[in-house]
Amino acid sequence: MIIYIADPMELLGKQEEKKQLRTKLPSGGYLIAERMESEQWKVVDICSTDPMDYMSKKYYPGAILDVKL
């Protein structure tokens, strides 16, 4: 019997590093976003204990934010 498994070092070399941003919300929770283009970020997750953070029309998973520095 022959068992084929993926080489873990091979998988590690193929992973892309995605730049993530963790921003504090006014309620005390956090917004986690990934960089898409030069000034655009895509919301990945919201970590908060305040239910109103999840009801926001501006911040939801999948939303695209324009950040100008």
Domain boundaries, the chain: 16-66
Q: What is the pLDDT of residue 31?
A: 92
Distance of CA 58 to the CA centre of its chain: 16
Q: What residues form DSSP beta bridges with 35? A: 41
Percentage with pLDDT > 70 across the chain? 78
Q: What is the pLDDT of residue 14?
A: 58
Low-confidence ranges of the chain (pLDDT < 70): 6-18, 69
* Residue 62 contacts residue 56 (beta carbons within 8 Å): no
